[in-house]
Structure 1
Amino acid sequence: MQQSTPPITENQTVLDALNRCVAACENCITACLHEEHVQHMVGCILLDRDCADICALTARFVARGSAHAKHVMRECIELCQLCHIECAKHNDTHCQQCAAACKVCIEACKAYLG
């Protein structure tokens, strides 16, 4: 089944949000691993990893115009919401930046889905 793909510029907003979320999650993971009490950050790290991976996968599906992009994106929204909630609990700058990136990503994905 061949799907006609819109020009990449039409998807640029969601692609940018997904890629910024990947970067914020990866940054948060690295910073959390350097925290003095890293064991308290395990939940955050695990969600960051899942969120970064699903956002990267979703960006690839959107970029190639996959017929499955919207299905993957719904999973992406769910993980971004969980990551946003977890990171928002922590006062560290990297966690707050990650929570903000997740929120922007959620909004961009919802807009893409219509």
Structure 2
Amino acid sequence: MENHNHQQLIEKLLNCVSACEHCATACLHEDDVQMMTRCISLDRDCADICAQATRLLQRDSEIGHQYLLLCEEICRLCAEECGKHQHDHCQQCAEACRVCADACHQHHQPITQG
């Protein structure tokens, strides 16, 4: 059931994971780490959630596309926070998160309980 769009989504998710991990690590080396704590926290959450989304899609989980709702939400939160900081790593992370959030939005399905 893997199609080209699915693979592109996975690539965007993995790119977001990489950008968030890089940003969190770089934030730890900034002069005023206290100012970066929310950024670091959201980076870590976003990386974990996007990595899990990738695993769910790769295994064709029946909740994979519903999980993308959560993925979109954390990506938008992370993009908003990173976008407030002028560091290159934050700006690059914000852009990766926006791209990923948009891709998740295009592919997610509503959560249903039946």
Normalization by structure 1: what TM-score?
0.91
Aligned counterparts of 2:2 and 2:27: Cα–Cα separation in 1:
38
1:87 shift after superposition: 0.2
Alpha-carbon RMSD across the aligned residues, in angstroms, is 1.2
Query: Are the equivalent residues in 2 in contact too, given 1:8–1:63 (CA < 8 A)?
Result: no
The aligned counterpart of 1:44 is 39
Aligned counterparts of 1:10 and 1:90: Cα–Cα separation in 2:
32
Identity among equivalent pairs (%) = 49
Counterparts in 2 of 1:19-34, with a 5 A limit?
19-34=14-29
Aligned counterparts of 1:79 and 1:87: Cα–Cα separation in 2:
12
Which residues of structure 2 form unaligned runs of 5+? 110-114
Does 2:84 match 1:89? yes
Structure 1 residue ranges (4+ consecutive) displaced by more than 3 angstroms after TM superposition: none
1:112 shift after superposition: 1.6
Name the amino acid aligned to 2:105: K
The aligned counterpart of 1:3 is none
1:38 shift after superposition: 0.5
Aligned counterparts of 1:112 and 1:78: Cα–Cα separation in 2:
13
Which residues of structure 1 form unaligned runs of 5+? 1-5
- Structure 1, 6-15 or 65-74: larger mean CA deviation: 6-15
Aligned counterparts of 2:70 and 2:42: Cα–Cα separation in 1:
13
Aligned counterparts of 1:42 and 1:102: Cα–Cα separation in 2:
18
Normalization by structure 2: what TM-score?
0.91
